[in-house]
Amino acid sequence: MAKSTHNHEETSTVSNDSDTRTITNEDEEEKHFRKVISAFLYYKTLARNRVRRAFYSYNRLSDSHKNLVSNYETHLAQLLKCIDR
């Protein structure tokens, strides 16, 4: 893959035998845009899953370790409330 940059416009060329395709900066921008939209659409689900994993990990701690982070469970519950707003 060869890359060249001219005046803030990046073009990448990928060649397969007789087939040559050019992937422009606009293609990369569209790909990034789709990732951003996807992040917004799935934020609530992914964030809730992350907090649930934290609850699971916290609940596996021994009582002596839980006492070291006594407000952690409350903090996680507040995170869930904020995510659900």
pLDDT 10s digits, 66-78: 999 999 999 999 9
Number of compact structural domains in the chain:
1
Q: Which of 12, 7, 2, 83 is nearest to 50 (CA)?
A: 83
Share of the chain above pLDDT 90, in %: 65
Residue-wise pLDDT for 8-26, tens only, equals 445 555 555 444 455 678 8
- Domain span at residue 20 reads 2-84
Q: Show the CA angle centred on residue 72, arms to residues 66 and 73, nearest 5°.
A: 90
DSSP 45: H
